[in-house]
Amino acid sequence: MTDSIQKYEQKHLDGVITKVQEAIAKSSKDAKKAETDSKSIDKNFSNEVRINTSTYSGMMDTAISVRQQQQLLSERQNSWQHASQQLNVLKRLEKRPYFARIDFHEAGEKSDETIYIGLGSFSDTPDHFLIYDWRAPISSVYYDGELGNVSYETPDGTQEVDVKLKRQFTIEDGKIVTVFDTNETIGDQMLLKALGNSSDTKMKSIVSTIQKEQNKIIRDTHSDLLFVQGAAGSGKTAAILQRVAYLLYRYRGNLTASQVIMFSPNQIFNDYVDQVLPELGEHNMVQMTYYQFTKRRIPNMEVETLQQRFESRTDSVSKKIRTLENSLVYFDAVTKYAEHLGSADMKFRNLMFHDKPFASQEKIQGIYYGYNENYRLGNRLDATKEALLKSLNSRIGSEVRSKWAEQAVQSLNHEDLEKLYGGEPKEFDDSDKEFKFLARKLVIQALQPVRNAIVHNRFLNINAQYVHFLRSVPHLINLEKAGLTQADWQTYVEEVVASLKNHAISLNNTSAYLYLYDLIVGKKDERDMRYVFIDEIQDYTAFQLAYLKYNYPRAKFTLLGDLNQSIYSNESTSTLLAELSTMFDKEKTRVIQLEKSYRSTQQITDFTKEILKNGEAIEAFHREGDLPVVSVKPSFDLAVKRVQAQMSQNQKDGESTAIIGKSVAECQKITEGLRNQGERVTLIKTENQRLAEGVVVVPSYLAKGLEFDAVIVWDASDAMYHDEDERQLLYTICSRAMHRLTIVATEKMSRLLDRIDSSLYKLD
């Protein structure tokens, strides 16, 4: 780029920065003023507010005056919040106001227009924008097209412009470091630079280098289901985080971050991505794992953890049972079973009072089925509760006259009496009235647990109901079609019953259990949630997705995944896509395929995609690095030494290292081996840990979605990986590496690597 352009742009930049600084000065003043104002309102509160409670109109005056002060205070606080938010954006812009410029000509306009694009918009006068937000409609042109005619979407429809120039900047602390013009979508040069950076414990935003395909994902507003299938490292996660920021901008005022929820594979991942939105000036959305989503609703049960799910090796019958439970057929069976409960088979518990049934199961059943068949389950339950509460209220009178109440009143001591009177001395006409007052209070207290049990549905016997559902499955589903016999199923049901007794439940059963419960109580679903994002969709089952859809009926779904990265090899994902397509309206479904992989060097991507049998579609981004190294050592000790040598090499080269093992047990072995040699490493055993600086040892299922400068695959021996269905797991592990990949094995290399051409790696 010529010096004159650089000079010209630096001058322009200086001008913009001066204006931003002026705005900062003004905004700081505004923020200070709003802050002092609200403080002084607070201080003057007692002086200003006239407290007069002697007359009715005096009380009204006081209330109005308090209300006025409160209103003033909240207005000031709002303007203070607004001013300090504004200030934050401006401070960010001061360092790096923008990253791109486009010149274009809009049909019907006399002259060309030039705009600069940055993290937020900035104008010096109301209609004069010096910087456009990257999410503004026109900014799309920068990401979408080459030079020439390009169209872009606005809330009013499609517009077309003739793009004449696209210029990119790297700006650091107010100085232009590089500037170049490009006629490609986003020049490779800038992307190369971004991708060459080291990994971090926190993911970063990608707004200056969003790719065309990713831009489609980010700006989609039409689809009810947006399904993104993308290779490892193709930027699925990056794209959806920018998508959340985009949606919050596009629907500002109508959409808040609390109406957006993201389901992520594990807690470490949540932690990894939690800086992206704040970096973009937005609040984080709600983030949860599926485990957390279910676990919070059944705190008394041990729900199967990620580790248990990953490590459960199953025989062929259990595999078939899992496949069945994961399916939509099973989801429909729960729905059908619940419909049947409208006419029979609801299981209740006695509601007990003083060791006797206040309402027996039979009585409750009578009430429940006393309503006509048009009642839906939820309404039936509500009506039953109402009837039970009514009968509870009418019970108060008879209990007041009971022997136990009389005795209870007589044995009240002074302190108890004080409590019952609520601290205020009471005058009674006669002792009979006083007795009745006290007895009534005592009876209401004594009946409170029954009232709570009614209000909280404790008269439902949900465990027995669930087991009854399981026993009914052979009538609801053709087991033979699932390759199962009645006896297989019965044995399985007995296992579930035994584990429920121990308060333990598998993740599959948890979903069905909760869905059944929701259908029975007519759960008020979370209608407020507008966007649901699910990352690593291949690790979900069709049942879970259907259940999430049932929970968020008004939300639009964005699902991201890579069918090549299904790590739960005991579960089949092949049918997931087919089942998914039946859940959403085809007209409102959009599928986007991302084939280019940005995370890893060309050498690493070329190697890892060969692990898969159908990996041809994955395209490497041209970023050069070393060939992956495969190192097979004859013993554990020598293999540990090899890992050690690699760790110190990586450290010398400034590459942060993750050692990824298959399971926690493998990770423990290598950690111990290394510690015995005096190495310091952090072992990540559970998803509640945080990623630490330095070398980390991580089991495969917790490394999902993450990336590291250098990865050492621990023990890729044949003994460890030999089943065909473990290819995807090995692929997932290897594809975590950005710049360097070392595969260490003991005795014999895994046969899953046999098919890789020897020119794609180095043996040592």
Ligand X SMILES: Nc1ncnc2c1ncn2[C@@H]1O[C@H](COP(=O)(O)OP(=O)(O)OP(=O)(O)O)[C@@H](O)[C@H]1O
Task: List binding-site positions for ATP.
Answer: 230-237
Using CA atoms, how far residue 35 sits from 21, 39, 66, 75, in Å, is 21, 6, 20, 11
How far apart are alpha carbons 674 and 669 in whole angstroms? 9
How far apart are alpha carbons 539 and 326 in whole angstroms? 11
Q: Which is nearer to ligand X, 245 or 387 (CB)?
A: 245
Q: Which is nearer to ligand X, 38 or 185 (CB)?
A: 185
Contact string 524-563 vs ligand X (x = CB under 6 A) = --------------------------------------x-
How far apart are alpha carbons 59 and 705 in whole angstroms? 61
Contact status: 211 vs ligand X (CB under 6 A): yes
Q: Which is nearer to ligand X, 531 or 598 (CB)?
A: 598
Please, which residues have CB within 8 angstroms of residue 337's CB and are 6 or more apart in sequence? 469, 472, 476, 516
Q: Which is nearer to ligand X, 218 or 400 (CB)?
A: 218
Instruction: Considering only the stretches 208-216, 375-383, 447-455, 514-522, report the one whose residues sit in contact with ligand X under the rule CB under 6 A.
Output: 208-216
Q: Closest Cα to residue 600, out of 413, 737, 465, 488?
A: 737
Contact status: 707 vs ligand X (CB under 6 A): yes
Residues 205 and 92: beta-carbon distance below 8 Å: no
Q: Which of 176, 238, 505, 516 binds ligand X (CB under 6 A)?
A: 238
How many positions of this chain bind ligand X (CB under 6 A)? 23
Contact status: 214 vs ligand X (CB under 6 A): yes
Q: Which is nearer to ligand X, 118 or 235 (CB)?
A: 235
For the bound state, the minimum distance from the C-beta of residue 625 to ligand X, rounded and expressed in Å, comes to 14
Site for ligand X in 561-600 (CB under 6 A): 562, 565, 598-599
Contact status: 265 vs ligand X (CB under 6 A): no
Q: Which of 235, 281, 661, 699 binds ligand X (CB under 6 A)?
A: 235
Contact status: 233 vs ligand X (CB under 6 A): yes
Contact status: 728 vs ligand X (CB under 6 A): no
Contact status: 213 vs ligand X (CB under 6 A): no
Q: Which of 166, 236, 380, 530 binds ligand X (CB under 6 A)?
A: 236
Using CA atoms, how far residue 665 sits from 18, 302, 559, 668, 720, in Å, is 58, 22, 32, 5, 12
Q: Closest Cα to residue 584, out of 215, 254, 248, 222?
A: 222
How far apart are alpha carbons 746 and 735 in whole angstroms? 21
Tokens describing residue 383: 């009506």
Q: Which of 38, 121, 215, 234 binds ligand X (CB under 6 A)?
A: 234
Site for ligand X in 646-665 (CB under 6 A): none
Q: Which of 93, 705, 716, 717 binds ligand X (CB under 6 A)?
A: 705
Tokens describing residue 325: 């439970």
Contact status: 192 vs ligand X (CB under 6 A): no
Instruction: Considering only the stretches 14-22, 119-127, 233-241, 377-385, report the one whose residues sit in contact with ligand X under the rule CB under 6 A.
Output: 233-241
Which 8-state DSSP code applies to residue 280? T
How far apart are alpha carbons 668 and 697 in whole angstroms? 8
Q: Which is nearer to ligand X, 145 or 705 (CB)?
A: 705
Using CA atoms, how far residue 258 sits from 262, 287, 545, in Å, is 10, 10, 21
Q: Per-residue DSSP letters for 221-242?
A: -S-SEEEEEE-TTSSHHHHHHH
Q: Which of 209, 215, 509, 558 binds ligand X (CB under 6 A)?
A: 209
Q: Which is nearer to ligand X, 23 or 241 (CB)?
A: 241
Contact status: 195 vs ligand X (CB under 6 A): yes
Q: Which is nearer to ligand X, 523 or 596 (CB)?
A: 596
For the bound state, the minimum distance from the C-beta of residue 196 to ligand X, rounded and expressed in Å, comes to 10
Please, which residues have CB within 8 angstroms of residue 745's CB and are 6 or more apart in sequence? 630, 631, 632, 633, 639, 715, 716, 717, 718, 720
Q: Which is nearer to ligand X, 197 or 258 (CB)?
A: 197
Instruction: Considering only the stretches 67-75, 188-196, 570-578, 642-650, report the one whose residues sit in contact with ligand X under the rule CB under 6 A.
Output: 188-196
Determine what percent of the chain falls in helix, strand and coil, rounding each to the nearest 5. 50, 20, 30
Contact status: 271 vs ligand X (CB under 6 A): no
Residue 348 burial (10 A CB sphere; 0-12, 13-18, 19+): buried
Residue 82 burial (CB count, 10 A): 14
Contact status: 733 vs ligand X (CB under 6 A): no
Site for ligand X in 103-162 (CB under 6 A): none
Total residues belonging to the chain: 764
Which residue of this chain has its Cβ atom nearest to ligand X in the complex?
235
Binding residues for ligand X (CB under 6 A)? 191, 194-195, 206, 209-211, 214, 230, 232-238, 562, 565, 598-599, 705, 707, 735
